[in-house]
Chains A and B, each alone.
Chain A
Amino acid sequence: MKIYGVALLSACFLIGKLTGRFLGQVLNINSDIGGVGFAMFLLMVSSLYLRKKGWWAEESESGISFWSAMYIPIIVAMAASLNVKAAMTGGALALLAGLCATVAGLLLVPVISKIGNQSEKNQDGDN
């Protein structure tokens, strides 16, 4: 049943969000810390476990892949409901600060990617 997959996804989602929120509470900030990240880990680990046990049917997975595929349309809807006018009315300061932070982050990607990147060596050597 597809619903089993969706139910597993929902369970991971809620437990992840709860963990993130709880972590925020412990650290005394009114925000969710990595809730989605915990949920993603949970989903990966639990589906791996269920597969190993042989309790996982492809049919259940299709319930999850549906939501995974809905992701792009959801992002389009999100883009259409962003406060783009605020980005403009924040004036030069907001534009400049936003631009610098974005560009600096992007340019650092190849620099920090060098850390612990063994994938190329592994593919050449070990495999």
Chain B
Amino acid sequence: MEIINQIIDKNGLIFAFLLVGGIMLFAKLFSNKITNNRIPDVAIAILFGLGLAFFGEKKGLADIPLFSGLAILGGSMLRDFSVVATAMGADLNKIRQAGLAGVISLFVGVTISFILGVIIALNMGYSDAESLTTIGAGACTYIVGPITGSALGVSSDVIAISVATGVVKTILTTIITPLIAKLIKLDNPHSAVVFGGLIGTTSGVVAGLAATDVKLVPYGALTATFYTGLGCLLCPSIFYLLLKLII
């Protein structure tokens, strides 16, 4: 047992490949036999992954030393690397065509998320502009929240709430997107570009699109990648100053 632990400990990433391969296989069988292919295997695998994350804390299942390789495989380096690789199959003309809609969706997405976050925080008892801005920023993505919060010098519990808000958004996007895709006509590159700009949480967007239609991933990822930057640009500056004027 000791030897097995040692080997897995030293080869965490390799063990993660095996583990995820196992999850994918399980999801394939589950999708096939139990849901009769109605729920795509990718969606089941992602949901299963989210479920496993409950066994850990900050880094999900990867907090358990045996499974720490998952944090490398699912970390931002390999994630971004493979997302860039998907661009190989993307059609540059379709992106050019969706360019304007993509830019507009980015600004609308950041603004709407921020406003909704602020309104809900206001109703839940927060009244200072700094906390409100931080929670509004968290409704953009879980990276915009803490960056804005630390720029404005709010307390760590408010930052924690803003991170939690962003994580909720990521998880809900992952789960809801494949269910709602037909209803919102998310079935072509053009709407995928807009979707990426409106939702913005890169991990949620790519996971949601993967569960919907893998071919759409590069289009959504392309706009989503600008969202966090735009949020970090607008929230602690213009949005904060505007909010301060209003309150």
Contacts and interface: CB of A to CB of B under 8 A. Distances in A.
Interface of A: 9-10, 12-13, 16-17, 20, 23-24, 27, 29-37, 39-41, 43-45, 47-48, 61, 64-65, 67-68, 70-87, 89-110, 112-113, 115-119
A54 to B, nearest CB: 18
Contact of B188 (A34, A44, A68, A119): A119
Residue among A43, A47, A109 with most chain B CB within 10 A: A109
Contacts of B83: 36, 40, 71
A38 B129 CA distance: 34
B50 A29 contact: no
Given A89-B164, A101-B116, A106-B176, A82 B82 contact: no
A68 B105 CA distance: 26
Contacts of A13: 80-81, 84
B236 to A, nearest CB: 8
Interface in B184-205: 184-186, 188, 190-191, 194-195, 197-200, 202-204
16 contacts: A29-B233, A32-B229, A40-B83, A43-B88, A45-B92, A70-B78, A76-B49, A87-B167, A90-B167, A91-B164, A97-B117, A102-B176, A106-B195, A112-B198, A115-B100, A119-B190
Interface of B: 16-17, 19-21, 23-24, 42, 45-50, 52-54, 56-62, 67, 70-71, 73-75, 78-90, 92, 94, 97-101, 104-105, 108-109, 112-113, 116-117, 120-121, 124, 135, 138-140, 143, 147, 160-161, 163-174, 176-177, 180, 184-186, 188, 190-191, 194-195, 197-200, 202-204, 206-207, 210, 214, 217-218, 221-223, 225-226, 228-230, 232-233, 236
Contacts of B210: 71-72, 75
A interface SS class:
helix
Given A34-B226, A84-B60, A113-B185, A64 B85 contact: yes
A80 B97 CA distance: 36
B161 to A, nearest CB: 5
A100 to B, nearest CB: 4
